Each structure stands twice: as structure tokens, then as C-alpha cells.
Chains A and B, each alone.
Chain A
Amino acid sequence: MASSKASRLGEETRMDKVNAELVVLTYGAMVAQLCKDFDSDYVKVNQQLDKMGYNIGLRLIEDYLAKSNTFKRCSNFRETAEMIAKVGFKIFLNITPTITNWTSDGKQFSLVFDENPFADFVELPDDGRAQDELWYSNILCGVLRGALEMVQMQVEAKFVSDVLRGNDTTEMRISLIRYIDDELPPEDD
């Protein structure tokens, strides 16, 4: 029930479109530049992408809240996962990753990307290390981390496999660390 509601919401939300190739090329140029700037230190590139994504996420959540017309907070993390996959990814990237591999405590799940608009035309550098170290779409992890932090969920998001590296699927693992409490006003005297 909830899941069909989420997909309807994702379908109905109207967004301005940009050319997909422009996105691919812009993102690609940015990652390429980062690889250059960090001298192919891919661990640092991953970190930087995550950080950039985080800063995007902090703002993007407001756009998401306004565009998706979701007034109610998700009642549990499963619902959050549905909304991320079927509304968030749908309205911003026009894709719907599959939610799988829930842990029994309902605090970790995977998003499997059947298509990844960032990764069209991409081939990782052939230096023997990029295949093992670079998470090309790592910016998405940061975006999710930043956006969820603003709605009071501290999560850890990381890629565990990527078709660009030769894996069968592109999979991101998301774990809920904790719900963040409301901040209280400072005591007055």
C-alpha cells in the first residue's frame, strides 16, 4: 500500500528536465578533474565526492520536501527507504532503484541501481587502481547522508558494488545509525 502511494507520488511530481547528456558530461568532467587534483588518490576523490554530495543534500532536502508535498514524517525506516527510492530518485534523477537486502532489525538496506544516469559512457581509468578504489558515483552517498541528516536521521551510505568496476550490479548500502533528537532552546536565566 505505502509503496504504491510512494510510486504514485514520484510519478506525479513535476520537475523541470535537463538534458541527460549534459548531466553525464558535467559530472564526468568534475570527477575527472578531482582525480587530476588529487593526483589519482582515489580514496581522497571518494571523500571529496561524498563531501560535495553532503552539501548538496543539505539543500536538496528542502526542494524535495516542497516538491513532493509530503507533509508527514515517515513513520519508520522502511517507509523512508520507499520514499528515497520511489520519490527522491524518481523526481531528481528519474530512476527508481530497487530496495533489497533488509537486515532483520530494519536498519540497513541496499539500493540496487539498474540504471545510473551518471555512469553512461563511463570507463574507469585503466591504471590498475581505479577499478578497486574509485566509487564513481560516490556523490550520491553524500547527498543521501546530508538530506537525511536534515530530517533527523543519521545514516551511513556507501557503495558496495558498481558495474563500472565489473560487478554485476551497482549497489549502495544504507545504514541507519540513529534518529537525531530535536534541539532544545538554550536555558534562559
Chain B
Amino acid sequence: MAVYSFYIFDRHTECIYTKTWLPPATSAPDGGGGPQGPTAAQHAPQQHQQQQLRTSSADDAKLIFGTVFSLRNMVRKLGGEDDAFVAFRTAHYKLHYYETASSLRLVMLTDTATPSMRNVLHQVYINLWLEYVVKNPLSPVEHKGGAGVKNELFELALDQFIRGLM
């Protein structure tokens, strides 16, 4: 199984954490050209591309939030308040969703063969988020712009945990 990316959204619908484990497919169109002595001319478009990549990843987060938010609302409308949206699958990936009662939303994109990651997301919440972000006395309560989330302990532990699954 492979984990592609992971997002955390707070109760203000802001994306406060993003992590990707594989480069997005669009990032390497020139088939392994690599950084072999980039000339100035090559350098400029690369930077441009990187910038594009960054804005597109922020857009991705927004799109993902919009999607899961609507799906969750639809699921609740059809299946009652107790129903929960868990995952959806496309031809290329599977999106897993976990929401806490405090409106923290965890989203993970994996390959299509992966079984339910609900448990994994729950573990991320109680073992990593709680221990390294909530219980960190110096981290703020509101994580505007991701403040307090991108601390070393959390990032390392998350990376280790996810890599352990793959």
C-alpha cells in the first residue's frame, strides 16, 4: 500500500497541515532530467513551476475540503445525524476521512487497494495530534496558518508512523 498525502483541517475550515509522500505526477514531465547543471534559462521556468506547484497544492487542499465537507453533509442528510462519511475511491486513489467531535478533520489519500484507514487516522489523532500538538504547552490553541502544528516531534512521528505502514 502507498500513502500519497495527508491533510489536517481545523474547525475554522482552514488547512493547517499538509504532507505528501510522493511527488505529484505533474511535477516531472521531463522524464528524469534532474538537476544536471541547470543553465539560467532552465532555472527560471523551474522556479516558476515550483511556484505553480505550491499554489496548486493550496488549491488542492481547498478543493479537498470542499469535497469532503459536502460529502459529509450529504451523507448526514441521507443517512441521519449518526452516519459518517468514511472514504471514497476513484480509479487512481482512495480518500479517507476522519472527523473528531471537536471538528478536526483528517484526510488521507492512498492507493486504491488500501483497506479502511479510519483506525490509522484515529491513531494519528490520539497518539500524535494529542501528544505533540495539543499537549505542547507552547503551541497555540488555534493553529492559524499551521502555527504549532509543524513542530519537529509531530512531523517526525507522523512520518515514521506512516512510513511504518507502507
Which residues of A does B touch, CB under 8 Å?
Answer: 55, 58-59, 61-63, 65-66, 70, 72-73, 75, 150-152, 182-186, 188
List A contacts of B101 (CB < 8 A): 65, 70, 73, 151
Q: Which of under 10, 10 to 19, 20 to 34, or 35 or more describes the interface residues of B?
A: 20 to 34
- Minimum CB–CB distance from A68 to chain B (whole Å) comes to 10
What are 28 of the A-B contact pairs (CB < 8 Å)? A55-B141, A58-B141, A59-B134, A59-B135, A62-B100, A62-B102, A62-B129, A62-B130, A62-B134, A63-B130, A65-B100, A65-B102, A66-B126, A66-B130, A75-B81, A150-B103, A151-B101, A151-B102, A152-B103, A183-B11, A183-B12, A183-B13, A184-B13, A185-B13, A185-B62, A185-B65, A185-B66, A185-B69
Report the Cα distance A62→B11, complex, angstroms: 13
Whether, in the assembled complex, B4 has its beta carbon less than 8 Å from a beta carbon of chain A, the answer is: no
Residues of A with C-beta under 8 A to B141:
55, 58-59
Residues of chain A within 8 A (CB-CB) of B69 are: 184-185
Interface SS of chain A: loop
What's the nearest-Cβ distance from chain A to residue B121, in Å?
A: 12
Tell whether, in the assembled complex, residue A66 and residue B82 are in contact, meaning their CB atoms are under 8 Å apart: no
Residues of A within 8 A of B126 (CB): 66
Which residues 26-64 of B sit at the A interface, judged by CB distance below 8 A? 62
List residues of chain A with CB within 8 A of the CB of B135: 59, 63
- B13→A66 contact, CB < 8 A: no
Chain B residues, Cβ within 8 Å of A150: 11, 102-103
Q: Is B125 an interface residue (CB 8 A)?
A: yes
Give chain B residues whose Cβ lies under 8 Å from the Cβ of A188: 62, 66
Chain B residue contacts of A59, Cβ below 8 A = 134-135, 141
CB-CB under 8 A from B100, the residues of chain A are 62, 65
Beyond A65-B100, A65-B101, whether A186 also contacts B130 by CB under 8 A is no
Chain B residue numbers with a CB within 8 Å of A72 are: 82
| A55 and B82 alpha carbons, distance in the complex (Å) | 29
- Cβ of B5 to closest chain A Cβ, rounded Å: 19
Name which residue of chain B comes closest to A73, CB basis: B101
Q: Which 4 A-B pairs have the closest CB atoms?
A: A66-B126, A185-B13, A150-B102, A62-B134
- Cα–Cα, bound, A134→B101 (Å): 34
Contacts of A185 in B (CB 8 A): 13, 62, 65-66, 69
Bound complex: CA of A73 vs CA of B80, how far in Å? 12
CB pair A73–B102 under 8 Å, yes or no, is no
Chain B residues, CB < 8 A from A70: 101
State the CA gap A126–B98 with chains docked (Å).
Answer: 53
Residue of A nearest to B12 (CB): A183
Instruction: Report the minimum CB–CB distance from B18 to chain A (whole Å).
Output: 16
List the A residue with the shortest CB-CB distance to B141. A58
Please give the distance in Å from A188's CB to the nearest CB on chain B: 7
A73 to B103, CA, bound (A): 11
Q: Apart from A73-B81, A188-B66, list 7 A-B contacts with CB within 8 A.
A: A62-B100, A62-B104, A62-B130, A63-B130, A63-B135, A65-B100, A184-B69
Q: Tell me the bound Cα distance from A66 to B132 in angstroms.
A: 14
